Amino acid sequence: MKNKIQLCTYADRFGGKGISIVNELVKNSVSGAFGGVHLLPFYYPIDGADAGFDPVDHTQVDEKVGDWSDVTRLSSTHDIMADVIVNHMSAQSKEFADFLANGDASQYSDLFLTFESVFPDGATEQQLVDLYRPRPGLPFTKVKFADGKERMLWTTFTADQVDIDVNSESGARYLTNILDRLQSSNVGMIRLDAAGYAIKKAGTRCFMTDETFAFIDEFTGQAHARNMEVLVEIHAHYLTQVAIAKKSDWVYDFALPPLVLHTLIFGDSAPLQNWFKVSPRNAVTVLDTHDGIGIIDVAAEKNVGPGLLSDSQVDSLVEAIHENSNGNSRKATGAAASNVDLYQVNCTYYDALGADDQKYLMARLIQFFAPGIPQVYYVGLLAGENDMELLSATGVGRDINRRYYSVEDVQQQLQRPVVRNLLGLMRFRNEHPAFAGEFSCESTEPNRLKIHWNQSEASLALTVDLAKMTFEVVSLRDEQETVICDWHSFSD
């Protein structure tokens, strides 16, 4: 994967419906800003119960956004990352329909995970209480078959997303077919969605067990055999992320978004400095994604350890986001709006910083100077505000940050000074040779932050003064110091 910023986008929300439109935008309107594109699920249907994360057919491009030739065409100029949804598939799929119709006689009977396949002798109350949950309640749905028999199936997220048995013959074949299809269109990187939930074993939390690590390792081997790199997507305690990083190609730095917010909102860089001492260097860094701003990634976890932020700091941060967004994020978070993830705050990153252009650009600078490959979400690229109209229409909390833009909308937003400045910073991050060197974060007082990148022919330093809320980027090349940009660059 190129050491250049990636765009993370849906194929039907960033300037109209089509992969070809995304292709046109990254090659022309925002040329030089991105070296890669993470196309969020473009499989059929792209507009299902969970915005493409509930595929009916994981090997078919939804015709509303194009076909596989569009993916191949985009891959000729940009690295392509695509999702492999390893935990579940749609309850509307032909495989599940066959299972409902024929039960154990179905050719797909081993594909779907039942309660009894994990707990053949039943489960104790304690075993059920111990299950790791991304949402309230138990991860089961009672389903009635054609013969009238009822069974409990695993549905980790929603009743529309039925969990698969990745260790079964049908499950292994299903996932292999997906890898083969992606390889044939030159997809060079895959993102394992919800991988932490993929293995269920009685007597465990059914989340990130030893068996889960083994599955990720085995699946990564299959991807490597097809010349694909693997990004593991897991929201968990930061020590879990550090452990995963040692066993995978890439992990998300999900601790970075809340830590940068804490830094800029409260003028305290100490937690961020502490994180940089141990954070994985093989990280894809984000501030915003198609999901919410993770809190679990910096919080304490029982039987694991303290968090990067204390309980009181986490509470203060969540309240500050709600206040900065004029209470709109509160309407989209927790039990307020049919959320499947109660450990996230749903809000655009721009609004989480109070729609403050200067703070937003400072946040992006910190992200671009953090160790790893930066990824910028399409709403974040346009410094988007919370979409209360879409939230009201769907009642789905995460839709507050999943705006539909028309081509005209995108072109209009690209003219805003904050977006033009952001694009300039992105091209700078992609082009400067220092980012191919070594990262270091100088230990300093909490109201300051100083990050260095050193390479044989060039060095960079970002200094942030949180007391004055100013910053400076200095380049050292051939023993000459040059101020690249500072807060005056964006103060107009």
CATH number at residue 120: 3.90.400.10
Task: Answer with the one of 138, 162, 186 that is the final residue of a domain.
Answer: 162
Same domain, 388 and 467: no
Q: With a cut of 80, say whether residue 117 has pLDDT above it.
A: yes
- What average pLDDT does the segment 362-390 reach? 98
Same domain, 372 and 396: yes
Whether the Cβ atoms of residue 134 and residue 88 lie closer than 8 Å to each other: no
Same domain, 386 and 278: yes
- In this structure, which amino acid lies at residue 261? L
333 within domain boundaries: yes
Residues of the domain holding 101: 94-162
| Total number of domains in the chain | 3
- What average pLDDT does the segment 351-360 reach? 97
Which pLDDT score, from 0 to 100, does residue 463 have?
96
Same domain, 431 and 445: no
Task: Compute φ and ψ for 454, nearest 5 degrees.
Answer: -120, 125
- What average pLDDT does the segment 389-408 reach? 94
H-helix or E-strand containing 376? strand 373-377
- In this structure, which amino acid lies at residue 20? S
pLDDT in tens, 210-266: 999 999 999 999 999 999 999 999 888 999 899 999 989 999 999 999 999 999 999
pLDDT in tens, 276-334: 999 999 999 999 999 999 998 999 988 889 999 999 999 999 999 999 999 999 988 87
1 within domain boundaries: no
Q: Which of 190, 160, 161 is nearest to 175 (CA)?
A: 190
369 within domain boundaries: yes
pLDDT in tens, 442-484: 999 999 999 999 998 889 999 999 999 999 999 987 677 888 8
- What average pLDDT does the segment 10-33 reach? 93
Which residues does 480 contact at the CB level (< 8 Å), separation at least 6? Answer: none
Q: What does the alpha-carbon distance between residue 234 and residue 191 come to, in Å, rounded to a whole number?
A: 10
Which pLDDT score, from 0 to 100, does residue 194 have?
87
Task: Compute φ and ψ for 445, nearest 5 degrees.
Answer: -65, 155
Residue 339: pLDDT band (50, 70, 90) is very low
Same domain, 381 and 254: yes
* Percent residues over pLDDT 90 in the chain: 84
Q: Which residue has the higher pLDDT, 342 or 461?
A: 461
Same domain, 395 and 336: yes
- What average pLDDT does the segment 430-435 reach? 94
Q: Residue 395, Cβ neighbours under 10 Å: how many?
A: 11
Same domain, 202 and 262: yes
Same domain, 388 and 461: no
Q: What average pLDDT does the chain have?
A: 93
150 within domain boundaries: yes
Q: How far is CA 101 from CA 104, 109, 115, in A?
A: 10, 11, 19
The 8-class DSSP code of residue 432 comes to -
Q: What does the alpha-carbon distance between residue 482 and residue 476 come to, in Å, rounded to a whole number?
A: 6
pLDDT in tens, 401-427: 999 999 999 999 999 999 999 999 999
341 alpha-carbon distance from chain centroid: 13
Which pLDDT score, from 0 to 100, does residue 146 have?
96
Q: With a cut of 80, say whether residue 96 has pLDDT above it.
A: yes
Q: Is 15 left (phi over 0), alpha (psi -120 to 50) or beta?
A: left
450 within domain boundaries: yes
485 within domain boundaries: yes
Residue 187: pLDDT band (50, 70, 90) is very high
Same domain, 183 and 47: yes
Which pLDDT score, from 0 to 100, does residue 335 have?
63
Q: With a cut of 60, say whether residue 492 has pLDDT above it.
A: no
Task: Answer with the one of 436, 454, 480 that is the final residue of a domain.
Answer: 436
Same domain, 323 and 262: yes
300 within domain boundaries: yes
- In this structure, which amino acid lies at residue 131? L
Residue 338: pLDDT band (50, 70, 90) is very low
Same domain, 111 and 215: no
CATH number at residue 231: 3.20.20.80
Q: How far is CA 294 from CA 144, 236, 303, in A?
A: 36, 9, 20
Same domain, 295 and 443: no
Which pLDDT score, from 0 to 100, does residue 134 have?
77
Task: Answer with the one of 119, 143, 162 that is the final residue of a domain.
Answer: 162
Q: Which residues are catalytic?
A: 193, 233
79 within domain boundaries: yes
Flag whether the pTM goes above 0.75.
Answer: yes
Q: With a cut of 90, say whether residue 113 has pLDDT above it.
A: yes
